[in-house]
């Protein structure tokens, strides 16, 4: 299953539990305009039942009633409501009541064989573009005869002109990009010094001073001026060596702190993205394998940082892909400018610092030993005691100074580094957000997808040399295919970057299936396969539901062959806190028109020609068709009990 992007901050379909009828209606309109009629009917009916009754409500309520369905799919109560709407126009005059009136006129003309279709078509053309577009999009399954052909001609022209409108090719891909997470850096750990440590260090400093002064006094009393000078030099050299030792240990600790361990789960997903982007982006003069090795240290450091600062339950990796991509590009830029290893080089231990520290310690120890020997000769017991105190307190004080100074310097260095890194990341974050600023809405995606469906339907009609009125019923089935990637908004359906769309045409001769692959980014459509079969070869339609809320339906033929299609599914980790996998799957199936498709195929499987005879009765009565017993032809010969498959 493809990992999905959820745009949780888009509230187009969000509705509060205590929503007013007006709010329910507006969300219902959003669903209908995105061609999700099932959920639209529920919300608009709830709004109407709650007392929200305007000409706009009546218009959308009627469209929602018939959208994506044929007359035979209406319940008795819905059929009665449709008749009531046709017989009881509302006494209001505005653009919505005009749209309602024309809709009723079209529905009435579709049922009458003696209707003059020029009148409703003229009225349709005179409507506001918003109303006329909504009527064309939602009455597709409900019309028959010459009126259906004329309406289809208008729908197809609009689909062709709108298929690539509003810069589709430049914008669709942005719908499938996750909302970028704000940039972060790993905060440095501030130095922590316990009060007792400071007290011990202070006492040690006092003891060191007292011991050194005592030894100096002994040497002065004995006129050991050379030894006294050596003692003073030894102290100075020791302090200098300690300073370089602090620097050496600081850089050594910093270089060691850049490494980290790998872990599973979120970290493994981060690893995959690092592998992808550091393989995709590399200098022109370095191949990807070599680049992967060269960037090991820097890459691992950044990887560990991102795993740490973004590791939280509701942070999917897709939200930091922009940052991983940015770091991969930054590595290439630093390589080209010769600064790729700059940070690592600054943090590496320098040999000369360690050497100075060692030499300083050696010289200081040698000089101190000479001075102590001279002092012992003057006053053995006092000199030995002072020396032991000096060494013990010196070790304690040096350890404290090493730890405290190194921690403070490391903290300051990391703060400076963090400020610089965060500034660069914020600049990239702002740039990426501007790129995504014109991300298309789910409604726009639905509009483009509807245009694609119509063009595929037109290809199927032209291939089989049919008019829409020659088709008793048609249905679509969609499944992901081709270009990977899927996304949805909160409470919205999954949208895919690539589809395999199957069109089922039910004609007097049998079922004709036309398959095409759609690239949603570009609108490019490629024909893949055609299958033709008679009604009597369809044995059954089997629908199964998985634990993930995905549905699989299989068209089973009498020869045992199964034509399977899997619908959308949602993993538990791909739903928000106010969603369920079942609800997301249901909305996705609603957007794909799955219920209509199942109604058509299950009807054919259960009753065969009898079901088609009932569905086609109005057409038969109007145009005198009686060809249900004709053999099925595909412009090339008879097709027997087995489906004929034509690959393209």
pLDDT at position 592 over 80: yes
What value does the mean pLDDT take over residues 290-296? 92
Confidence class for position 516, pLDDT limits 50, 70, 90:
very high
What value does the mean pLDDT take over residues 97-118? 87
What value does the mean pLDDT take over residues 352-371? 45
pLDDT at position 224 over 60: no
Which helix (H) or strand (E) segment is 376 a member of?
helix 351-378
pLDDT at position 440 over 90: yes
Give me the pLDDT at residue 288, please. 92
pLDDT at position 381 over 70: no
pLDDT at position 540 over 70: yes
Sign of the CA dihedral with 31 first, then 32, 38, and 40 last: positive
What value does the mean pLDDT take over residues 231-235? 52
- What's the pLDDT tens digit per position in 25-76? 999 999 999 999 999 999 999 999 999 999 999 999 999 999 998 888 889 9
Confidence class for position 616, pLDDT limits 50, 70, 90:
low
Residue 125: helix, strand or coil by DSSP? helix
- Say how far apart CA 143 and CA 147 lie, in whole Å: 7
pLDDT at position 474 over 50: yes
Q: Tokens 């702002």 appear where?
A: 430
- Top pLDDT among 236 and 603 is at 603
Q: Are 375 and 212 in contact (CB under 8 A)?
A: no
Q: Return the axis-axis angle of helices 145-162 and 118-126, rounded to nearest 10°.
A: 30
Lowest mean pLDDT, pick from 263-267, 324-328, 629-633: 629-633
pLDDT at position 363 over 70: no
197: burial class by Cβ within 10 Å (0-12, 13-18, 19+)?
middle
H, E, C per residue of 492-527 = CCCEECEEEEEEEEEECCEEEEEEEEEECCCCEEEE
Give me the pLDDT at residue 618, please. 47
What value does the mean pLDDT take over residues 162-190? 93
Point out which residues pair with 489 in neighbouring strands.
7
- What's the pLDDT tens digit per position in 139-163? 988 888 888 899 999 999 999 999 9
- Say how far apart CA 175 and CA 436 lie, in whole Å: 8
- Say how far apart CA 306 and CA 425 lie, in whole Å: 12
The per-residue pLDDT of the chain, averaged, comes to 78
In 3-state terms the chain splits into helix, strand, coil percentages (rounded to 5) of 60, 10, 25
- What's the pLDDT tens digit per position in 397-431? 566 555 666 667 777 777 888 899 999 999 999 99
What pTM was computed for the model? 0.77
Task: Pick from 240-249, 283-292, 552-561, 624-633 the range whose average pLDDT is largest.
Answer: 283-292
- Say how far apart CA 111 and CA 119 lie, in whole Å: 15
- Top pLDDT among 562 and 208 is at 562
Token pair, residue 455, equals: 């063009």
Q: What secondary structure does DSSP assign to 301-341, as a single string? A: HHHHHHHHHS-STT--GGGGHHHHHHHHHHHHHHHHTT-TT
pLDDT at position 548 over 90: no
Lowest mean pLDDT, pick from 403-412, 470-479, 513-522: 403-412
Q: Are 58 and 96 in contact (CB under 8 A)?
A: yes
Point out which residues pair with 533 in neighbouring strands.
511
pLDDT at position 595 over 60: yes
- What's the pLDDT tens digit per position in 238-282? 555 445 444 544 444 444 444 444 345 788 999 999 999 999 999
pLDDT at position 196 over 60: no
Give me the pLDDT at residue 528, please. 76
What value does the mean pLDDT take over residues 452-473? 93
Residue 514 phi/psi, 5-degree rounding, is -125, 120
Q: What secondary structure does DSSP assign to 436-447, as a single string? A: GGGPPPHHHHHH
Share of the chain above pLDDT 90, in %: 42
Task: Pick from 104-118, 193-207, 228-242 the range whose average pLDDT is largest.
Answer: 104-118
Q: Count CB neighbours of 48 within 10 A.
A: 19
The conformational region for residue 570 under phi > 0 = left, psi -120 to 50 = alpha, else beta, is beta
Confidence class for position 633, pLDDT limits 50, 70, 90:
very low
Q: Are 58 and 90 in contact (CB under 8 A)?
A: yes
Give me the pLDDT at residue 342, please. 54
CA-based radius of gyration for the chain: 39
């Amino acid at each position: 299953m493809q990992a999905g992007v959820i745009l949780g901050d888009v509230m187009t379909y969000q509705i509060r539990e205590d929503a007013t009828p007006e709010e329910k209606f507006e969300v219902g309109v959003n669903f209908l305009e995105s061609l999700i009629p099932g959920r639209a009917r529920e919300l608009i009916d709830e709004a109407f039942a709650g007392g929200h009754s305007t000409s706009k409500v009546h218009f959308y309520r009627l469209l929602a009633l018939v959208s994506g369905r044929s007359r035979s799919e209406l319940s008795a109560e819905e059929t009665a409501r449709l008749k009531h709407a046709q017989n009881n126009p509302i006494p209001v005059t505005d653009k919505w009541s005009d749209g309602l009136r024309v809709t009723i006129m079209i529905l009435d003309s579709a049922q009458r064989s003696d209707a003059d279709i020029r009148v409703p078509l003229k009225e349709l053309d005179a409507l506001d573009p918003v109303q006329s577009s909504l009527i064309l999009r939602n009455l597709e399954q409900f019309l028959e005869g010459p009126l259906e052909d004329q309406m289809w001609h208008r729908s197809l022209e609009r689909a062709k002109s709108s298929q690539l409108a509003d810069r589709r090719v430049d914008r669709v891909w942005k719908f499938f990009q996750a909302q970028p997470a704000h940039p972060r850096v790993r905060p440095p750990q501030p130095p922590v010094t316990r009060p007792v440590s400071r007290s011990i260090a202070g006492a040690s400093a006092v003891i060191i001073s007292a011991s050194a002064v005592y030894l100096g006094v002994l040497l002065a009393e004995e006129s050991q001026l050379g030894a006294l000078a050596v003692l003073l030099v030894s102290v100075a050299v020791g302090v200098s060596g300690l300073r370089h030792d602090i620097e050496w240990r600081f850089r050594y600790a910093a270089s060691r702190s850049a490494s980290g361990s790998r872990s599973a789960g979120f970290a493994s997903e981060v690893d995959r993205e690092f592998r992808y982007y550091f393989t995709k982006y590399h200098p022109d003069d370095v191949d990807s394998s070599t680049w992967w090795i060269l960037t090991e240290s820097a890459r691992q450091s950044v990887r560990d940082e991102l795993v740490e600062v973004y590791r939280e339950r509701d942070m999917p990796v897709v939200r930091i892909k922009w940052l991983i991509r940015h770091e991969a590009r930054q590595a290439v830029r630093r390589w080209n400018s010769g600064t790729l290893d700059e940070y690592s080089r600054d943090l590496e231990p320098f040999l000369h610092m360690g050497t100075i520290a060692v030499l300083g310690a050696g010289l200081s120890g040698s000089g101190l030993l000479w001075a102590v020997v001279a002092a012992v000769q003057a006053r053995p017991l006092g000199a030995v005691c002072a020396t032991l105190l000096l060494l013990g307190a010196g070790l304690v004080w040096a350890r404290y100074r090493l730890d405290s100074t190194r921690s403070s310097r490391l903290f300051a260095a990391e703060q400076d580094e963090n400020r610089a890194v965060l500034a660069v990341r914020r600049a990239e974050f702002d740039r990426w957000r501007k790129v995504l600023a014109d991300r298309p809405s789910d409604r726009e995606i639905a509009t483009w997808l509807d245009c694609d469906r119509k063009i595929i339907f037109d290809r199927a009609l032209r291939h089989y040399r049919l008019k829409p009125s020659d088709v008793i019923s048609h249905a679509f089935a969609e499944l992901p295919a081709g270009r990977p990637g899927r996304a949805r908004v909160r409470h919205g359906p999954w949208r895919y970057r690539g589809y395999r769309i199957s069109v089922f045409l039910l004609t007097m001769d049998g079922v004709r299936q036309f398959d095409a692959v759609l690239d949603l980014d570009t609108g490019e459509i490629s024909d893949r396969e055609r299958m033709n079969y008679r009604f009597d070869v369809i044995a059954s339609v089997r629908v199964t539901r998985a634990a993930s809320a995905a549905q699989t339906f299989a068209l089973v033929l009498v020869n045992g062959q199964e034509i399977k299609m899997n619908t959308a599914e949602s993993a538990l980790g791909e739903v928000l806190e106010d969603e369920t996998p079942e609800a997301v799957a249901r909305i996705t199936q609603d957007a794909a028109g799955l219920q209509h498709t199942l109604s058509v195929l299950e009807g054919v499987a259960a009753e065969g020609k009898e079901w088609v005879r009932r569905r086609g009765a109005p057409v038969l009565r109007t145009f005198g068709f009686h060809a249900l017993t004709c053999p099925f032809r595909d412009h090339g010969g008879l097709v027997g009990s087995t489906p004929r498959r034509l690959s393209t």
